[in-house]
Structure 1
C-alpha cells in the first residue's frame, strides 16, 4: 500500500522531474544546443559548449530519473549543481524574485531536490528496490 509519505515523495518527484525534462527538452529541441551555447556564452558561463551539453542532458536525463525514482541521490546532486550554475550565471544579479529574473525558482528547485533526493524512496521508485540490494540489505 502507498502511504502518505511515499505518495508525497512520488508527486514531488514527478513534478520536479517534469519541470527538468521540459527545460532539458527546451535546450535540446526548442532552442537547440547551439542557441543554448550562445546564451551561455552571453551570460559569461565558462566553457559554454560543454556547459550547454551538461545542462541539457542533466536536466533531460535527470528529470527522467526523478520521475522513475532511479539514482535519486546522484540525479539530485547533478541537478543541484546545474541550478547553482543557473543561480550564479543567470539569476543572481537580478535579486531574489522570479518576476524580475531572479534566483527564486532555481532556489526552490534545489529545495525540492534536497527533499526528494536524499530520503528513503517509496515503493513507487526504482531505488526502493535497487538501493537495498546495492548496500547488501534485504528489501
Structure 2
C-alpha cells in the first residue's frame, strides 16, 4: 500500500492541490478566450487550425474552460467537468498541437497534455473530501439511508 492509501488526509490534500492548479489554469484559459482573444478572435483562430464549426465551437470551449475550471476549483461536478475538459484537451491535441511536436514554445502539446491528464485524473479519482461535491453526495447518501430504513 502507498502512503496515499494509508492516509486519507494526504489523498484529500493531493486532490485539492490538483483541483486548484488544474481548475485555475482552465479558468484562466477560458477567461482569456473571452477577454483577451475575444470569441470572434478565438473562432478565427479555431478556423485557421481547421476546427469544424469554429464559430459554434469557440464559445462552447471558452465557456467549458471558464465554468469547468471554476467548478474544479470548487469541487463541483468534478468528475463530469474533469471528463469534459479532458476531451477538450484531446481535441486540442488532435486539431492544433500534435503536428507541432512536444514543446509548448513551438506550439506543441506539452501543456495541453498535462492539463488533459490532470483533468482525466480528477474525473477518475473524484474531488476529494474537501469539495462541494461532498455536500451533495452526503445528502444523497442520507436520503438513500432514510428511504431504506
Which has the larger share of helix?
A: 2
Q: Within 1, Cα distance between the matches of 2:55 and 2:99?
A: 23
1:22 equivalenced with 2:28 (yes/no): yes
Structure 2 counterpart of 1:93: 99
**Structure 1 length-normalised TM:** 0.90
Whether the 8 Å contact between 2:79 and 2:126 is mirrored in structure 1 is no
Q: Which runs of 5+ in 2 are unaligned?
A: 1-7
Q: Secondary structure at the match of 1:46?
A: coil
Does 80-89 or 24-33 show the bigger shift?
Answer: 80-89
Q: Secondary structure at the match of 1:67?
A: helix
Q: Within 5 A, what are the aligned runs for 1:123-134?
A: 123-134=129-140
Whether the 8 Å contact between 1:120 and 1:128 is mirrored in structure 2 is no
- Higher gyration radius (CA): 2
Structure 2 counterpart of 1:32: 38
Structure 1 counterpart of 2:4: none
Q: Secondary structure at the match of 1:3?
A: helix
Q: Within 5 A, what are the aligned runs for 1:66-105?
A: 66-105=72-111
Q: Which runs of 5+ in 1 are unaligned?
A: none
Q: Within 2, Cα distance between the matches of 1:49 and 1:81?
A: 19
Q: Within 2, Cα distance between the matches of 1:90 and 1:132?
A: 41
